[in-house]
Structure 1
Amino acid sequence: MLLSFGVIFVAELGDKSQLMAMTYALRYRWWVVVLAITVATTAVHAVSVFFGHFLGMSIPTDLLAILAGLAMIVFGLWTIRGDSLDDDESQKANRVGASVFLAVMSSFFLAELGDKTMLATITLATDDDWLGVWIGSTLGMVAADVLAIAVGVLLGKHLPERIISLGAAALFFAFGAWLLADGLAGSSTVTVVATVSATVALVGIGAAFIYRSRRLDVGRAEGTHPEADPAVPTPDRS
């Protein structure tokens, strides 16, 4: 357990998932982020231990990395969309709900699949006690991510909300590009074309939706959109 804790803690330092944890802490309450990451890490390392100790085989990390990269792009678009829809940014940054927990947990889970910390856990579980590896690796990753979350909380107290939102979106896009590059390295032409097409489609749909949302926000602010004031009835055009 101690060996697994030390190996995964060191491997996690400076890793993209640690940067993701800091990014989440800039946007949402720290304890929600810690809980979501703990659940995701426990599940990921359970899968790692199962494959390493009981099956002694590897997993299709390339496909998992591609799926995780697409998920990061979606999360980046979702972050931008949320900023355009909410006027009270501080209230949004502190919101707590099932959607936030599930979003953080699922994106972190996908990002960890095929990551070097998962591969290290599989290797450790091959020759060592599976329960000790599971507990130690989970605690090691959570401990490293808590350090990043602490940094994110401190930064969040000194940065404007607009800067935080744009920075978070940029980091999510960077995570997505990072994961896609890892997954596409050495892949077939068909896989590359399909992945690029899916990425372009996601960005296009997301950009169109964000543009529409901003237009609605402008209409509400100027009072020209029917939703600007629910008390004002829509004109009868019959």
Structure 2
Amino acid sequence: MEAFLVSTGIVALGEMGDKTQLLAMVLAATFRRPLPILLGIFVATVLNHAAAGLLGGWVAQALGPDVLRWVVGLSFIAMAGWMLIPDKLDDDEAQRGRRFGVFGTTVIAFFLAEMGDKTQIATVALAARYTEVVQVVLGTTLGMMLANAPAVFLGDRIAKRVSMPLVHGIAAAIFAVLGVLTLLNVGQLF
């Protein structure tokens, strides 16, 4: 359960102000059809995060416990720093795949936007840290939906009322704490 809850919380916070959240707002404003947009986000996230989770599981098996502890701990600390860098949405990213309809456009745009994104890298690291890869993928997917569903429905109103630097700071602190705890081998994580 810890893997699920930590994964959900980290990704939900990490997605606030992320380019995929901005993409959700753009798609909502463009198409004004929330259900196919939300379904597209869900499908793209499951596919992307399942692949990331499998990679993380493989990394955990391929490396020994000592090397893995250092790799994951340093990855979490690097993610803490990355969380403090604001994201911007490329103008043409929202236009990709438009000929595929609302659902198809959303799946393609979100899948591509998540490639190498903070949440995909976090999913790899979380899956390497926890042995419950399915719980990690379910948690990161739920976190993505928790962050992006309001963006689809409320769009700009949320962005104006929530302090993105504060949210990113909290997410960075969580990543930093997880990194330090992992490096110190607190709780015999590995």
TM range (shorter): 0.5 to 0.7
8 A Cα contact 1:41 1:141, kept in partner: yes
Structure 1 residue 78 displacement after superposition: 7.7
- Cα RMSD over matched residues? 2.9
User: Percent identity between the aligned chains?
Assistant: 36
User: Distance in 2 between the 1:20 and 1:34 partners?
Assistant: 12
Structure label with greater radius of gyration: 1
Structure 1 match to 2:164 = none
1:45 aligns with 2:49: yes
Structure 1 residue 31 displacement after superposition: 0.6
Match for 2:55: what amino acid? F
Q: Which runs of 5+ in 2 are unaligned?
A: 63-89, 159-190
8 A Cα contact 1:24 1:33, kept in partner: yes
CA 1:104 to 1:7, structure 2 compared with 1: closer, same or farther past 3 Å?
A: same
User: Distance in 1 between the 2:129 and 2:113 partners?
Assistant: 25
Equivalence map 1:151-170=2 (5 Å) = 151-152=154-155
Q: Which runs of 5+ in 1 are unaligned?
A: 58-70, 80-96, 156-238
CA 1:30 to 1:154, structure 2 compared with 1: closer, same or farther past 3 Å?
A: farther
Structure 1 residue 98 displacement after superposition: 5.7
8 A Cα contact 1:45 1:118, kept in partner: yes
Deviations 1:77-112 (A, max 9, x none): 887xxxxxxxxxxxxxxxxx9622111111110000
8 A Cα contact 1:18 1:148, kept in partner: yes
Spell out structure 1 runs of 4+ moving beyond 6 A. none
Between 143-152 and 98-107, report the one with greater CA deviation.
98-107
1:73 aligns with 2:92: yes
CA 1:77 to 1:121, structure 2 compared with 1: closer, same or farther past 3 Å?
A: closer
8 A Cα contact 1:8 1:117, kept in partner: yes
CA 1:75 to 1:137, structure 2 compared with 1: closer, same or farther past 3 Å?
A: closer
Residue number among 36, 39, 54 corresponding to 2:40 in the alignment: 36
CA 1:143 to 1:44, structure 2 compared with 1: closer, same or farther past 3 Å?
A: same
Match for 2:41: what amino acid? I
CA 1:45 to 1:72, structure 2 compared with 1: closer, same or farther past 3 Å?
A: farther
1:3 aligns with 2:3: no
CA 1:39 to 1:121, structure 2 compared with 1: closer, same or farther past 3 Å?
A: same
CA 1:3 to 1:106, structure 2 compared with 1: closer, same or farther past 3 Å?
A: same
Q: TM-score, normalised by structure 1?
A: 0.48
Structure number with the bigger relative contact order (C-alpha 8 A, sep ≥ 6) is 2
Q: How many residues align?
A: 127
Deviations 1:5-63 (A, max 9, x none): 00100100110100100111112200110000000001110011011112458xxxxxx
